[in-house]
Structure formats: C-alpha cells, structure tokens
Structure 1
Amino acid sequence: MSSHPTMSKFPEVQGGGSLILAWQIKDKHVLVVGGGEVAAGRILNVLNADARVTVVCPASGLNEEVAFRVSEKQVAHIDRNFEPHDLDGADMVMCAIDDPEASSEVWKLCKERRIAANIADVPPECDFYFGSVHRDGPLQVMVSTNGNGPKLASIVRKKIAETLPSNMGAAIENVGRLRKKLREVAPNPEQGPKRMKWMSGVCEQWSLEELVSMTEKDMDGVLSFYESGKVPTIQEARAE
C-alpha cells in the first residue's frame, strides 16, 4: 500500500481564478491614461490606497470629477495624449480611453517594461482586475467575477454588505489599536504565536458592541491580563 496521503485530504485545485491580494501601493507612482468616468473610478481607488497619481489626458477630455481632482492637486496632470516616455518611473498603469489601438499600444509598452497594467474593458490586456469593493474604515471586502460580470459583482457585494453590522469598521479600528499596544507590551518576535492566540481570544470573546466601546483605559486593563494568557471579559478589564 502506498504511504502517500490520498488527494482527497487536500483542497482541490480550482483553476481559472485570480490571486486576490491587498496590494500596498502607498507612495507608488500610478499613471492613469484618460480622464473620463472609468478613469475617475480608477483614480479614486488608487488615491484611497495613498498612491501618487499622474493623469495624462487633454484637458478637454477630463470629466467633472477628474478635473476637480486636478484642480485640488490630488493628482498631477499632463495636458496631452499619452506618449511612451510617460511610463518613466511608473509602478502601475491604468488605461481608460476610447481608442482600442492606442490602448493596445500602452499595453505592449507596459509588457516590455514589466509594469503592471489594466486596460479598461479588455480583460486579456489586464494584469489585474478591479472588483466591487465594500469599504468601512479599515475594512475592505472585494468581490471579483474575474472579468465575467462586473454588475453581478456589485450585486453580490451589496448583499454581503447588508449582512455586516454597521459598526464593524469602528470595532476593527479598536482591535488595530489594541494590537499596536500589545506589540509595545510584548515586542519580542518569539511572542508572536502567543500574541496571535491571545488577540484571537479577545476578538472571539468580546461582542462587536464591546469592541466598539473599548476606551484607551479599557485597553490598558485588557493588556494587564496578557502575561497570564487569560482573556478577560470587559467587566474584568474595567475592574483592573
């Protein structure tokens, strides 16, 4: 008999998906080609991720929202059509123009330079897709149909959002602050597994309402139990 484990013990591979990641692009340079409605949505997405954005598009082609971001200096603006040297220094490119030939040229240039690119409405010319995103403070939930049905992604995202408590974002913010304080209390890397287990216990034991109402004083009270490994109730934490 074979000593190898049977395949059924392991998850089945389901090809055809995307690798969904939280891509950190803070201070990265993102070039957006075009200034219409689609470009406006792309620009907001990357500004929310704290990227540095340059829009290349004739001023006459900017819609109201993109023109506003230019006037507010939220983005840099190059007032002309795309030229290949615009890619110099770009970490990511998004193209949203009504010119398939010009769009494909942008794609080819990005491939030559190994720059991640998204050509709107042309799935084969995309290194990444935009999903439909629910945002509540630090919480982001993305639904992707892998380019098959963007409207359906929006419908699924709304259904998911409806099931989430309205104060979820505030609870996550407080958990983040507690984690940061815990790292200050127990900074050693070897404490990692204990920190993770203890924080998991707090998240599981405390209700969302308790996490939302947690004050700085409560956090200090909670942290006083960490050394023992005990996860206190909110009442025990406040008694400290």
Structure 2
Amino acid sequence: MKGPYPEIQGGGSLILAWQIRNKKILVVGGGEVAAGRIVNVLNADANVTVISPRAGLNDEVAHRIEQKQVAFVDRKFEPSDLDGVDMVLTAVDDPEASSQIYKLCHEKRIPANIADVPPECDFYFGSVHRDGPLQIMVSTNGNGPKLANIVRRQIAASLPHNIGAAVQRVGILRRKLRKVAPAQEEGPKRMQWMSKVCEQWTLDDLCDMTEEDMETLLGFYRPGTVPSLEQVRLQEPDGAYDGPFLI
C-alpha cells in the first residue's frame, strides 16, 4: 500500500549544481568529447588545464588554448599531473590509460569522469539547456546520452522564450530582499514572500520589472502582501492611485 511520502525508486544519481568556480579542473584529451567537457566547466568559471599531445587537438580545443581560456600541456598524461587538482575529466581513446587515471584519482580521492565508461565515473554529464541563469539538465544515468539530448531539446522547445530573463530579474529582487530583511530568522518569510511573487506575477511581468518597481514592491514585504505589477506602478512617485489594493 502506497504511503503519503515519495516512493523510493533507487538506481538514480544525486543531481546537484556543483559549484566549481576557481577550482582546478584537469581535462585529459583534446578531441570532440573533451571540447564539450571544457565548455561545461568554463561556463562554471573553473580554472582548466588541458593535457594532450598537440596533434590530438580538434579545432575547438585549439581555439580555447589560443584564446588562453585554458592552460595547455603538450604531452600525454603523467601521474604527477594530479597534484593539486580538484576534478579530473578524461576523454581519450585508450580504455587502459583511462582506467589507470581513474584508479589514481580514486586513490587520491579526486572526483573523476571517464568518458564513455559509466562504471568508472563519480558523476555524469547530462544534456543541459542554458538560458541565462537558468540551467536544466536531463540525465539517463549513463544509459542513453543521445536520448537525453532528445528529451532536453523537447523540454527546451516547450519553455517560454523569456523565461531566462524572468529568472534573472527574480534573482535581482531576491538579493535586494536579503538587504531589506537580512536576519536569519527572516528566512522562512523571505522564501514564502518570494514564492508568492513568482506564483502571482506572469513571466512577462517579471521580465518587465524595473529597479524602481522592485524598490516599490519590496515595501510590501513587511505586511506580507504581493500587489500586481500594475498596482506597484500606481504606487510609484509618478502614480496617482489612492484606493485600496485587492491582494
């Protein structure tokens, strides 16, 4: 008999947004797969070093190196390359070498992803849709990367065109609210009030919200009410609304 709580399915991965800003990421390999990995970690503001013989670089990786977006070591991997590294991503056409790198990472407790070898991965890369601050990842837990890409594209096609901009404006409002109510005990109230804003305002409203609108809207935080964007603008200095608000 099913209970009131989520049923445990098992066999999944813990999907996290891993913060690797300024972390040292080592990419072993310079082909197409390595190029995709490099984009992923550069987008997360990591410090990236690529190790590969120059002859094995594809055009995109060579471009990253030329633009000094990554550091480059022109040779094959050596065990000492793991010193001081926070994460390792391998993408080489040598299963034996890849397994050896994974074993070394395991010994040093460095999280590693070995391309196309799911059993030797501490984490997987999913198929990601990016729109400004919005990121949506689809993972098949190593079962079907191509299928993950298809599912991701279908999800992206169903999203409103302006959702990324709306998320960005909400982030600005949230940071402003923390300044208005910085106390730790205000946490639950801040979350509840921001939830009301996101639920009651349309994506178009959130996108159109100006800095002045935000300052006016924040004046409604203490009583815990959420007026419409129209009502907010009628309250601003050039407005002339004197009547009651229907919240």
- TM class, shorter-chain normalised? over 0.9
User: C-alpha distance in 2, partners of 1:236/1:190?
Assistant: 29
Say which of 50, 56, 79 aligns to 1:55: 50
Offset of 1:46 from its aligned partner? Answer: 0.3
Say which of 12, 20, 41 aligns to 1:17: 12
Q: Which runs of 5+ in 2 are unaligned?
A: 236-247
Q: Percent identity?
A: 69
Matched, 1:186 2:181: yes
Question: Within 5 A, what are the aligned runs for 1:116-131?
Answer: 116-131=111-126
Question: Within 5 A, what are the aligned runs for 1:81-160?
Answer: 81-160=76-155
Q: Counterpart of 1:75? A: 70
User: C-alpha distance in 2, partners of 1:26/1:53?
Assistant: 11
Say which of 176, 184, 192 aligns to 1:197: 192
Could you report, residue by residue, the CA deviation over 1:123-162 in whole angstroms, capped at 9, with x for unpaired residues? 1110011110000001000000011111110111011111
How many residues are aligned here? 235
Could you report, residue by residue, the CA deviation over 1:98-125 in whole angstroms, capped at 9, with x for unpaired residues? 1111111101100000000011001111
Amino acid at match of 2:124: Y
User: C-alpha distance in 1, partners of 2:152/2:64?
Assistant: 27
Q: Counterpart of 1:3? A: none
Amino acid at match of 1:136: D
Offset of 1:69 from its aligned partner? Answer: 0.5
Say which of 201, 220, 223 aligns to 1:228: 223
Offset of 1:60 from its aligned partner? Answer: 1.1
Amino acid at match of 1:194: K
User: C-alpha distance in 2, partners of 1:153/1:97?
Assistant: 22
Q: Counterpart of 2:245? A: none
Amino acid at match of 1:178: L
Offset of 1:210 from its aligned partner? Answer: 0.5
Deviation beyond 3 Å, 4+ runs, structure 1: none
Offset of 1:10 from its aligned partner? Answer: 2.5
Q: Counterpart of 2:61? A: 66
User: C-alpha distance in 1, partners of 2:197/2:218?
Assistant: 10
User: C-alpha distance in 1, partners of 2:65/2:157?
Assistant: 34
User: C-alpha distance in 1, partners of 2:225/2:6?
Assistant: 34
Offset of 1:7 from its aligned partner? Answer: 6.4
Offset of 1:9 from its aligned partner? Answer: 2.8
User: C-alpha distance in 2, partners of 1:7/1:130?
Assistant: 33
TM superposition score normalised by structure 1: 0.96
RMSD: 0.9
Q: Counterpart of 1:177? A: 172
Offset of 1:13 from its aligned partner? Answer: 1.2
Question: Within 5 A, what are the aligned runs for 1:26-41?
Answer: 26-41=21-36
Q: Which runs of 5+ in 1 are unaligned?
A: 1-5
SS of match in other structure, 1:160: helix
